[in-house]
Amino acid sequence: MASLLDRLRSGWAAFLPDHVPVAFKLGLTICALIVTCMALVGVVILNQQSALLRSQMDDFGQAMVMQLAESSKELVLADDSLALNALITNLAGSEAVLGAAVFDRDGERLAHSGMIPEAEKDQKGSFSDTEATAYRGEIRFQDITLGSAMVTLSRSAQQIGTRTTTQAIILTTVFMSVLGGAAAFIMGQRLSRPVHRLVEATRAIGDGDYRYRLPDGRRDEIGHLMSAFNRMAQGLLEKSQVEGALSRYVSAGVAREIMSNLDRVSLGGRQVEASVMFADIAGFTRLSETMDPDQVARLLNEYFTHISHIARQHQGSIDKFMGDGVMVVFGVTDEDPDHRFHAIASGVMLQHLVSRLNRVREEGGQEAVRFRVGINSGPMMAGNMGAEDRMQYTVVGDAVNLASRLMTAAEPGQVLIHQALFDDPDIRWRVRGQPYRSIAIRGKSQPVATCQVHDLSDLYQEAMERQIERLLCRERIT
């Protein structure tokens, strides 16, 4: 039974429109309410009208019978049939009277004219059908019953009155329904106009247009709702602007995490398995001595912009800029199962891009820029580090320190990684490199074995070159 009802509901729902305007719903509801009220009022009026007409007809019928009985009393005593017939004929000649008759005490007709119900000739009282009503009264003389008189009245006047009243009620109902429905539709449109604006505004906010505003000026609940919406949109705009500005100082992932936990920003962190890349310009001090401060700033901004784009393409994020160096993390703010390879691919792509840029610089008579890159992977602590009133989201740990030392040990143009990372089965087949040398690390009893990565495997080289070309094209366009 339940499944049958569900099928009926779903079948009925298939014929319903997806959207029904509020104005149409309001107009239809008011029309239905008017029709219902008018129908109830009409029923009451018709019942009262019918009762009043019946009462008036009964009074008139009883009066006619009493008059006929009084007029025919002496004629019945005198047995004057001719006079009785004349009296009956004159009485039945009116429009309202369909017939009249006089009966003796045995019920035999002494005189009659017009419509007389035969089934009632031996009964007292009145008789009714759909067309006429017969009224009967006794003919008495000094407490002696001489017979009875009967008058049959037409019900056409009552039916015409009822029909006229019904038509008036129907016309009034139709007029009131049309008028009320039109007024309700117009009113519904006026009431739903701000609702439509609110719907458009929510769609605009959903599409990221936080500058969308609703007009003010209404002094009702909808006006309060519009004002609240405008305040909410302003708050979202300010939050978006803060997040956009914050993402220029920290990575987008860090910005999202901070903005989503504004009430829980505190010192502390969590342990993650991630990768980190350090890169700096070899011989930057000497290079900067031959350049103006503005030229130095433009040079750093140019290369840091390229590094930021490279990191973003490999799901990494800038942790911090340190003078002429940069620290990039992978798999920290956003989960990345392939963070080891992405870190190495970023370092290799950076060296290839710098090599392309150096050819342009040398053609223009400028000195080449060389980067040193150190990469490592392992467990590290990620979170807010510093003081309660001044903190920074970063990563710390032995794996991070080793990456920094690898960069320091690298030669200009080199990408240096830990031997264990190079020997990872998931990494070895995707990169081209060779063992480099072991370096002594302060705090470690044994030197750390390193490897130099020259390039990516053939499977990834073509994609990397396309990415570099897009970066250079973007630079030429801007």
Q: What pLDDT shows up at residue 379? A: 92
Average pLDDT, stretch 382-393?
Answer: 69
| Euclidean distance between CA atoms 402 and 398, whole angstroms | 6
- Beta strands in 83-168, from DSSP E residues, in sequence order: 97-104, 109-114, 126-128, 132-141, 144-154
Does pLDDT of 211 surpass 70? yes
Does pLDDT of 16 surpass 60? no
Beta-carbon contacts of residue 162 (< 8 Å; ≥ 6 apart)? 46, 49, 50, 53
% of the chain at pLDDT higher than 90: 19
Q: What pLDDT shows up at residue 123? A: 43
Tens of pLDDT along 298-344? Answer: 889 989 989 999 998 998 988 888 888 999 999 887 888 999 999 99
| Domain layout of the chain by residue ranges | 20-113+127-207, 267-476
Average pLDDT, stretch 62-81?
Answer: 81
From first CA to last CA, the distance across the chain in angstroms is: 69
- Nearest by Cα to 345 from 313, 380, 321: 313
Q: What pLDDT shows up at residue 256? A: 59
Looking at domain 20-113+127-207, its CATH class is alpha beta
Of residues 126 and 168, more confidently modeled: 168
Does pLDDT of 176 surpass 60? yes
Q: What pLDDT shows up at residue 245? A: 61
Q: What pLDDT shows up at residue 121? A: 43
Q: What pLDDT shows up at residue 261? A: 56
Q: Poorest-confidence range of 72-76, 123-127, 219-223, 414-418?
A: 123-127
Helix axis angle, 22-78 relative to 81-92, nearest 10°?
160
For residue 451, how many other CB atoms are within 10 A of its CB?
A: 21
Six token digits for residue 446: 């044994």
Q: What is the DSSP letter of 366?
A: P
What Å distances lie between residue 274 and 42, 196, 336, CA to CA?
83, 49, 8
Does pLDDT of 295 surpass 70? yes
Cβ-contact 328, 343 below 8 angstroms: yes
Which range is most confident: 33-42, 88-97, 273-282, 432-441?
273-282
CATH fold group of domain 267-476: Alpha-Beta Plaits (3.30.70)
| Euclidean distance between CA atoms 269 and 247, whole angstroms | 20
Amino acid in position 5: L
Q: Poorest-confidence range of 55-64, 118-127, 226-235, 428-437?
A: 118-127
Cβ-contact 373, 278 below 8 angstroms: yes
| Euclidean distance between CA atoms 137 and 150, whole angstroms | 7
Average pLDDT, stretch 428-435?
Answer: 91
Cα 196–chain centre separation:
11
Average pLDDT, stretch 133-142?
Answer: 83
Tens of pLDDT along 339-360? Answer: 999 999 999 999 999 999 998 8
Q: What pLDDT shows up at residue 125? A: 44
Sign of the Cα torsion 201, 205, 209, 210 reads positive
Q: What pLDDT shows up at residue 124? A: 41
Does pLDDT of 15 surpass 70? no
Q: Poorest-confidence range of 135-149, 220-234, 437-451?
A: 220-234
**What average pLDDT is seen over the chain?**
79
